[in-house]
Amino acid sequence: MLKTYEVANIRCEACANTIRKGLRAYFGNDIDIDLSVMPRKVTVDIEGDRDEDFLISTLRKLGYPLVNDEISSIEGVVMKGKSFVSCAIGKINPTKEKR
């Protein structure tokens, strides 16, 4: 079932590229990231709790928590830093495809 999540810290296509790369091995190429709305939305095909847990933990590791995640202010700063680095990496190593 396709599910859409509101995700924080996504600023540009490079951020989206990093997220796609991080999720591709598990979810394949069916990852849609809508950069035209705020907060940004990530849509993937979720089969159960395990898929959702993987998605949420991977996004957090990359520095892109869900908008409604309860995180401390220190965690928030750390995740913004991670997303900044992740964004820079996405600009250096862009994916060949864009969705």
In whole angstroms, what is the distance from residue 96 CA to residue 53 CA?
28
In whole angstroms, what is the distance from residue 54 CA to residue 60 CA?
10
Token readout for 98 is: 């864009």
CATH number, domain of 72, equals 3.30.70
pTM: 0.81
The residue segments making up the domain with residue 47 are 2-92
Check residue 8 and give its pLDDT.
94
Q: Can you give the pLDDT of all 99 residues of the chain as single tens digits?
A: 999 999 999 999 989 998 999 999 999 998 999 999 999 999 999 998 999 999 999 999 998 999 998 777 788 787 788 888 877 776 776 655 444
Would you say residue 98 lies in a domain? no
User: Residues 48, 26: contact at Cβ < 8 Å?
Assistant: no
User: Residues 58, 20: contact at Cβ < 8 Å?
Assistant: no
User: For residue 7, how many other CB atoms are within 10 A of its CB?
Assistant: 25
Would you say residue 99 lies in a domain? no
Token readout for 37 is: 């709305």
